[in-house]
Amino acid sequence: MTPAEQKKLRALKTNFPYFAKSCLNIRTKKGDEKRFELNKAQHYIHKKCEEQLAKTGMVRALILKGRQQGCSTYTEARFYHKVSQNRGKRAFILTHEHEATANLFDMVRRYHDGNPFAPSVSSSNAKELMFDKIDSGYKVGTAGNKAVGRSQTLQLFHGSEVGFWPNGEEHLAGVLQAVPSESGTEVILESTANGVGGVFYEMVQAAQRGEGNYQLIFVPWFWQPEYVMLCPVDFVKTKQEEQMVESLGLTNNQLYWRRSKIMELRSDELFRQEYPISANEAFISSGRSVFVSTWLMAARDECYSPTMTADLQIESQTLIEKADGCLRVWEAPQSNKRYVIGADVAEGLDKGDFSCADVLDENGDQVAQWHGKISPDHFGDLLYALGMLYRRAFMGVERNNHGLTTLTILKNKGYPNLYMQEELEREYDGKQFKKVGWLTTSRSKPLIIDNLASITRDSESGIRCLETIDEMETYVVHANGSTNSRHGYYDDRVMSYAIACEMYRRMPRNYGHTVVNIRQFKAAQTGVGY
C-alpha cells in the first residue's frame, strides 16, 4: 500500500465528512441517489457533537429541529461510520413508528451497499446488520414494546422523534441503562416538537437551564437550502417579514416559501411548531406567543452584558462587585437623570418563584435589574436601598399577595416616591381612593402586557437583559385568554419589566430640580402580539 493510500484510509477512518462524501449514498427528495455531502445544518450538528466529544469523551445531544432537515440522515451516517470502521461498536436505533424504523434502516443499508470499504456481514435481516470480523453492528426497534433495548449493551444510541414516543419516559429510561457512561459512547436524541410536556420536552428545558449532561442543538428551518420558492415580481414584504430579513437575513424566496407553507398548513402557529426559528418557539401548543419571535430577535440584538454584577448593601446603599451577585447594572446612577422601578414580589421560598425589580431611566432604557429569592420583608428593605440609590426612583410594586408585606416595609421606612393606584371603593359610595402599589387584575394585567408587546414591536423596549427576552419567548396566551409563562418556565422578569414600563408611562413629569423631555410610549393596543 502506497503512502497516499495509507493516508486516504486514515482519513476515511477519522474524518467523517470525508468518509460520507467518499463512501455513502443518500436518496434525495427527488428520488435520485448521490454521495452524501453535509449541508449547513448537518455541519453544525457535527461541529457541536465533535466539540462535546473532545471536551467530555462522550456525546449526549438533544437535537430540536423542523421537518425533514436531515438530522436523522446525519445521525445514521455518523453511527454507521463508527460501527463499520471500529471494532466492538454496537448501535441501536429506536423510532416512534414501524414505518419510520423501516425507513431509517433502509438508509443504513444504502450506506452499506454503496460503501466500497464495507466490512463483511454475518447477519442481515429487517432489524439488524452485523459485521462478523469486527464484532460490530446495527439494530433497530420501535417504541411500543416496553422491553425494547433493555437487554443490550450499547455504545451508540439514536432516539428518533422522541417527542412522539408512547410511554416515552419509560422507554428512554430503559434503553439508556444499556449505554454505559464510558468514553466513546454516544446518545443522540432528536425530534420535532410535539407540544409542551413529555420526556423530550422536559429534557430540552433542563438543557436550556444548563442542567444535566445533555447539550441542546437547535436547527432552524431557514438553514435548509430547498426551503425556497420563487417569489412573484410584485412580492411585497409585511412589516414582520421586514424584521425577519433584518434579524435573520432571509431572502424573498425564503419568505415566499414560508407564506406558501403557512397557507398550506392553514395555521401560523402550526408552521412555527413544525418549522421553528428558535427552540422556545417550537413548543407552542400550550398557548399562543404574546411576543412575536421576530420582535424578540430584534430586541435580543440590543442586549449586552452588564457593566457590573453586584450585591446591594442595604444599610449603606452601595454596590459591592460580586460575580454571582443578584444585581446587574448596565448604567450606574446619574445625578442628572430620573428613574423608575417596577417590582414583582414572590414568597421567597427556595423552590418557589423569584422576586425581581427592574430599573429604567428617563429614556425608558433598562439600567439595572435585581433578580433572586428573598423574603418579602427583606425585599422591601432592598427595594428601599435600590430606589434611593437610583435617585428616589418612582417605584411601582405589585401589591398582590406577598407584595403587601414588601409595601408595608417601604411605607414604614418612609420611601418618598411610591406609586399610588386609584381604585373605586363601592363600599364608600363609589368614591375614588388611592392605594399604594400596583394591583395586577384580569383588567390591569392585559394593559401592561399589551404595552410591553407594543413597545417591543416598535423596537422601543429598551431591554438589555437576555434573560428577560428568554422569558418573553415562553410567555403565552392560554386557552382561557389568560397570559402566563408556559409550564416549567418563569415570568417574574416579564412582570417586573411590564410594571416598570407602566411606571415609566405614569412617571411624574417633574420631581426634584430636574426637568426632562420624556419620550412618550405609544398607547397600548388591545391584542397586540396575540
Final residue before a domain boundary, out of 219, 249, 270: 219
* 522 inside domain: no
* 70 inside domain: yes
Please give the grid coordinates belonging to residue 421: 393606584
Residues across the chain: 530
The verdict on 57 and 179 lying in the same domain is yes
Q: How many domains does the chain have?
A: 3
| CB contact set of 441 (below 8 Å; sequence gap of 6+) | none
The verdict on 152 and 260 lying in the same domain is no
The verdict on 454 and 384 lying in the same domain is yes
Identify the three-state secondary structure at position 151: coil
Yes or no: say if 112 and 129 are a contact pair by the CB < 8 Å rule.
yes
* 328 inside domain: yes
Nearest to 37 by CA among 59, 70, 66: 70
The verdict on 189 and 206 lying in the same domain is yes
Q: Residue 490: which domain range?
A: 308-515
What pLDDT is recorded for position 133?
85
The verdict on 242 and 208 lying in the same domain is no
Q: Cell match 493516508: residue?
A: 7
* 352 inside domain: yes
Q: CA–CA separation, 66 vs 122, rounded Å?
A: 37
The verdict on 312 and 372 lying in the same domain is yes
* 13 inside domain: yes
The verdict on 127 and 140 lying in the same domain is yes
Nearest to 203 by CA among 60, 67, 79: 60
Q: CA–CA separation, 19 vs 74, rounded Å?
A: 12
* 292 inside domain: no
Final residue before a domain boundary, out of 219, 234, 251: 219
Distances (CA, A) of 298 to 196, 256, 271, 375, 421: 26, 21, 21, 35, 33
Rounded CA Rg of the chain = 28
What pLDDT is recorded for position 427?
46
The beta strands (E) that lie in 121-209 are given as 123-124, 128-131, 136-142, 156-160, 186-191
Kindly report the CATH number assigned to the domain that includes residue 458. Answer: 3.30.420.240
* 302 inside domain: no
Helices (H), 339-443: 376-389, 403-412
What pLDDT is recorded for position 149?
55
Determine how many CB atoms are found less than 10 A away from the CB of residue 100: 18
Mean pLDDT per 10-residue section of the chain, whose length is 530 residues: 78 90 86 88 95 96 89 93 90 86 87 86 73 86 66 86 84 86 94 81 86 92 91 89 86 94 82 82 67 82 93 91 94 94 86 90 96 95 96 94 93 94 54 79 90 90 93 81 81 96 86 34 28
The verdict on 125 and 111 lying in the same domain is yes
**Strand pairing partners for 358?**
342, 369
Kindly report the CATH number assigned to the domain that includes residue 133. Answer: 3.40.50.300
What pLDDT is recorded for position 125?
65
* 299 inside domain: no
Final residue before a domain boundary, out of 219, 241, 275: 219
The verdict on 28 and 91 lying in the same domain is yes
The verdict on 275 and 322 lying in the same domain is no
The verdict on 313 and 366 lying in the same domain is yes
The verdict on 211 and 238 lying in the same domain is no
Please give the grid coordinates belonging to residue 67: 421537518
Task: Using alpha carbons only, give the angle 178, 202, 187 rounded to the nearest 5 degrees.
Answer: 30
Spacing of C-alpha 388 from chain mean position: 36
